Chains A and B, each alone.
Chain A
Amino acid sequence: MTDASHDLRAADLSLGYDGRPVVEGLELAVPDGRVTVIVGPNACGKSTLLKSFARLLRPDAGVVTLDGADVHRVPTRRLATVLGLLPQQPIAPEGITVADLVGRGRFARQGMFRQWSSDDEVAVASALRSTDTLHLASRSVDELSGGQRQRVWIAMALAQETDILLLDEPTTFLDVTHQIEVLDLLHELNRERGVTIVMVLHDLNLAARYADHLVVMAGGRIVVEGAPDVVITREVIGEAFGLESLVVPDPVSGSPMVVPVGRFHHVPPT
């Protein structure tokens, strides 16, 4: 779907709510065509950072640019053809069907004189198929399971046909099976269609497994970023999360796996 290359970055970015600073002087360049995962303790500013990338939050200082242009200066609708967003808790209007919801992903492609077209229908059908939700098209979103519903929301973002997709904790409230299902789907999108993915995740081990580029944040700044097997160390986890842990290779994927210690256990002597 996407061959275009994009440059999404934050320069000297400071963010806050009502004058209370959350993120200060942050620099981040999102690697094009890769999966970037942002992790960090609660209130470290990771969701805030994602919001500013999605132009939901105006910076107090600094700038977020997409291909050199300030995201707040690009018309929202035009930006929505390049940059897609799945917020943490989107709202499904009561009684809406899956096909109708996913169809709303096409808003930016429509206009006063360009109503619903066969292009839109194709895009929606293709989004439903790649998220394995086509058979749910006529069902009401209220009736779906959590995993199905999350796949439908991702289908809506896919129907938008953007080259970059931002997701704020797409696996929250899902059981482990559905978490893996959603992350596999995003991985597939990235590998098969070249969609650049930036997401915030809570689970360190899943983050380490699915990220090409891992960003560890704490206290409103980036502690370290890079490939997961370089970034995830005992020291980094200690510094960012204040947690004593052991880092071992994940027996399935080989990616680093964080095993927390806690007050009632000890690291076995080696």
Chain B
Amino acid sequence: MSVATTDREIVATGRRLARRRQATVSLALTAMLGAVAILALVLGDRVIAPGDVITTLLGRGSGGDSFIVLGLRMPRLLLGLMVGAMFGLAGAVFQSLFANPLASPDLIGISQGASAGAVVAILVVGWSGPAVSLSAFVGAVVVAGLILLFSGRADAAGSRFIIIGIALAFSGQALIGYLLTRADVRDAQSALVWLVGSIGTVRIGELLTTAVGGGILVVALAALSTRLRMLQLGDEAATGLGVRSGPTRLLLLLVAVGLAALATAAAGPVAFVAFVAAPIARRLFGGRGPALLASALVGAVVVGGGDLVAQHAVSGLQVPVGIVTGIVGAPVLLALVAGSNRSRGTL
């Protein structure tokens, strides 16, 4: 059957339309990311001019500049951006798998599981450093396993999965609360710093683990992204079109849990990032698809930018980044909801 060239052009235009906006939004977000990165390297107790930062990055800076830029500010910046992107991706995958903005790792217990793991490590076992991160990772994975176990199967209805997750989140909170009330004040203090989400102290090993683990998971997610978009048509339609919906769902869940667990293990449960990154990204896009790339960029900008504010907003006072994202997150969410009430119903 012959199809006129104009027909094909009409199809191509219809498909390009959304893609063009995606490209524009991604470019704008990348520019913001660049700005955040420059500021993060320039600002500090000692302000280093952008020109000197570039010289230092090229390996020709003075010893002092090199230590500050490469040794202190760069690791913190990189960890912030990576953790933000990972939270953003994890949230986007969860929310689009369950077609529900409430299905975010920080609401359905994954973050609480990680926190409980970390708090047990700090307060009960007396660990510190990488062992705490490992314990946090295990905590997140345990909660994800429990949710899957209780909800029966990976393709279980979204609301069931979310309700079980929220219940487990409360259990996690209860455990954390119990341990904190019984702990020595100084130990409790260090647990609390972890609990609000902080990227203030960065160990190189942690940075590498996060980068390698996150990199592998991101590649896996990229390979699954077409299928994730297909699943948005509903499991039955996706199966009819040739996607093995059950196993695909499970794989995507594992990748998202891995991202959330790894990010939480590295930085603590940075409030609201996983929850708001994808809704913000979708809003910028005009509400289309899982918006993975944009969610990752929004997450990175939020954590990177949030950490700038946390470090420099009040001179002489540094707060953990989780405090800033928490304070900013609530109004952003409210603004989003108010905005979507005016246009159409959903986040």
A134 CB within 8 Å of chain B: yes
A93 with B239, Cβ < 8 A, contacts A103-B15, A134-B7, A138-B17 known: no
Contact of A96 among B3, B8, B288 (CB under 8 A): B288
A134 with B233, Cβ < 8 A, contacts A94-B287, A122-B3 known: no
Contact of B288 among A86, A91, A95, A107 (CB under 8 A): A95
A-B contact number at CB 8 A:
130
A84 with B240, Cβ < 8 A, contacts A91-B99, A125-B10, A138-B13 known: yes
B288:A93 contact, CB within 8 angstroms = yes
Number of interface residues of B (CB under 8 A): 36
Contact of B232 among A83, A93, A98, A142 (CB under 8 A): A93
A197 CB within 8 Å of chain B: no
A179 CB within 8 Å of chain B: no
B289 CB within 8 Å of chain A: yes
Number of interface residues of A (CB under 8 A): 50
Interface flags, A78-116, vs B, CB<8A=1, else 0? 111101111101111111111111011101100000000
Closest to B346 in A: A94
Stretch of B41-49, B241-249, B326-334 with 4 or more beta carbons under 8 angstroms from chain A:
B241-249
A91:B237 contact, CB within 8 angstroms = yes
B125 CB within 8 Å of chain A: no
Q: What are the residues of chain A within 8 A of B285 when measuring CB–CB?
A: 95
B1 CB within 8 Å of chain A: yes
A85:B15 contact, CB within 8 angstroms = no
A252 CB within 8 Å of chain B: no
Q: What are the residues of chain B within 8 A of A83 when measuring CB–CB?
A: 240
Closest to A120 in B: B11
A89:B234 contact, CB within 8 angstroms = yes
B10:A137 contact, CB within 8 angstroms = yes
A100 with B239, Cβ < 8 A, contacts A122-B8, A125-B3, A129-B7 known: no
Interface flags, B309-347, vs A, CB<8A=1, else 0? 000000000000000000000000000000000001010
B187 CB within 8 Å of chain A: no
**CA–CA, A90 to B99, complex, Å?**
13
B1:A100 contact, CB within 8 angstroms = no
Q: What are the residues of chain A within 8 A of B289 when measuring CB–CB?
A: 93, 96
B205 CB within 8 Å of chain A: no
A258 CB within 8 Å of chain B: no
In the A-B complex, list the 3 residue pairs whose CB atoms are closest, starting with the nearest. Answer: A99-B14, A85-B240, A80-B242
Not counting A77-B243, A85-B239, A157-B240, a sample of 7 additional A-B residue pairs whose C-beta atoms are within 8 angstroms of each other reads A1-B1, A54-B240, A56-B240, A76-B239, A87-B234, A96-B289, A107-B230
Name 23 A/B residue pairs within 8 A (Cβ), A-sorted.
A55-B239, A76-B239, A80-B242, A85-B240, A87-B234, A87-B240, A89-B234, A90-B237, A91-B99, A91-B233, A94-B287, A96-B288, A99-B11, A99-B15, A103-B15, A104-B233, A107-B241, A125-B7, A125-B11, A126-B3, A128-B10, A129-B3, A137-B11
Q: Which residues of A contact B (CB under 8 A)?
A: 1, 51, 54-56, 76-81, 83-87, 89-101, 103-105, 107-108, 118, 121-122, 124-126, 128-129, 134, 137-138, 142, 156-157, 160, 166
